[in-house]
Structure 1
Amino acid sequence: MSTQDQVPVPVPLAGQCRCGHIQYRVVQEPRFTFACHCTDCQQLTSSAFSLGMAVPSDGFELHGEAHCWEKMSDSGGWSRQFTCPTCAGWTHTITENAPDIVIVRTSTLHDHRWVRPVAQIFTRSALPWALMPLQFSYDTEFSDTSPLEQAFAAGGIRPRRT
């Protein structure tokens, strides 16, 4: 599929925490989706991994006041997880390594059935049965997002208008 043939993500996308205290809108096209197998994500989700969607920070609108939990990441930079102060639903993350990007936790989107990761990170701490056969797999983090953005754009992963 050529760049001209790509169907844009039908923004805005909307989501919220479980109780609705925190609501958000994504008003710019997401750059890519991924799964994170780090132990923090495993603990925060009580699952094998978390799903994230990279969105330009100026394309993310937050409504409601989120609780911020800050932690030093394995790479030595800070990572801020934002949760609802009422239901503790984890809605998004911002990291020092990419302060211009908001990582939306895709399971909090109103419609997340279309979400499919193009990459997985922190596979070194993945549960063996949770590893996915993805083209892009990283033991830790990645620095060049352009291959992920291209795969997301070309891979038929974007949600379609119905």
Structure 2
Amino acid sequence: MSEKDFPVPLQGQCRCGVLTYRITSAPKFSFACHCTDCQQLTSSAFSMGLAVDKASFELKGEPHRWSKVGSSGKESHQFTCPFCTGWTHTETESHPGVVVVRPSTLDDHRWFRPIAQLYTRSAYPWALMPVQFSFETEFEDPAPLAEAFAAGGIRP
């Protein structure tokens, strides 16, 4: 699948619609994160992420931003709606120029499927997934993930 084959724009919003966004280029890759921060943020076993170029992410509305040094030792910035507290996206020092969109906030998220899982060292054993890539912590090189995502035909 080439970038031109991916149907964009993708659109999404927080639960109440105060924050809306558009993604104007094909996502880089998809994943699930089992780190303890994501477990606490979601009150669940993991969070889901869709990595997109920051230049293609257009946000309307003023999100609440809070930051924390994550398990990686680098700062992570979570963005939520100031009204409904819906977590829409994240930016990290680990991957500048990338926005991690929470795919459950996409208007159409049924197509989403992770190709990787991160921080499996803190995963609930029953929550591990049969995905192409599994990392005990974080990955170093996103290129194999991007190649697998593009080749996997994952799209709306």
Give the TM-score range, shorter chain. Answer: over 0.9
Q: Does 2:56 correspond to 1:47?
A: no
TM-score by length of 1: 0.93
SS in 1 for 2:55: helix
Q: State the alpha-carbon separation in 1 of the partners of residues 111 and 60 from structure 2.
A: 24
Q: 1:99 to 1:23 in 2, by over 3 A?
A: same
Q: Is the contact between residue 37 and residue 70 of structure 2 (CA under 8 Å) also seen in structure 1?
A: no
1:34 alignment partner AA: F
SS in 2 for 1:133: coil
SS in 2 for 1:92: strand
Q: Does 2:154 correspond to 1:157?
A: yes
How large is the Cα RMSD of the aligned pairs?
1.3
Q: How many residues align?
A: 156
Identity of matched residues, %: 65
Q: Does 2:131 correspond to 1:134?
A: yes
Shift of 1:77: 1.1
Q: Is the contact between residue 8 and residue 158 of structure 1 (CA under 8 Å) also seen in structure 2?
A: no
SS in 2 for 1:81: strand
Where does residue 69 of structure 1 map in the other structure? 66
Q: State the alpha-carbon separation in 2 of the partners of residues 47 and 75 from structure 1.
A: 20
SS in 1 for 2:113: coil
SS in 2 for 1:44: helix
Q: Which runs of 5+ in 1 are unaligned?
A: none
SS in 2 for 1:143: coil
Q: Which runs of 5+ in 2 are unaligned?
A: none
Q: State the alpha-carbon separation in 2 of the partners of residues 9 and 35 from structure 1.
A: 21
Q: Is the contact between residue 67 and residue 82 of structure 1 (CA under 8 Å) also seen in structure 2?
A: yes
Q: State the alpha-carbon separation in 1 of the partners of residues 124 and 79 from structure 2.
A: 25
1:115 alignment partner AA: F
Q: 1:26 aligns with which of 18, 23, 28?
A: 23
Where does residue 35 of structure 1 map in the other structure? 32
Q: Is the contact between residue 7 and residue 158 of structure 1 (CA under 8 Å) also seen in structure 2?
A: no
Q: Does 2:101 correspond to 1:95?
A: no
Give every structure 1 segment of 4 or more consecutive aligned residues whose post-TM-superposition deviation is greater than 2 Å. Answer: none
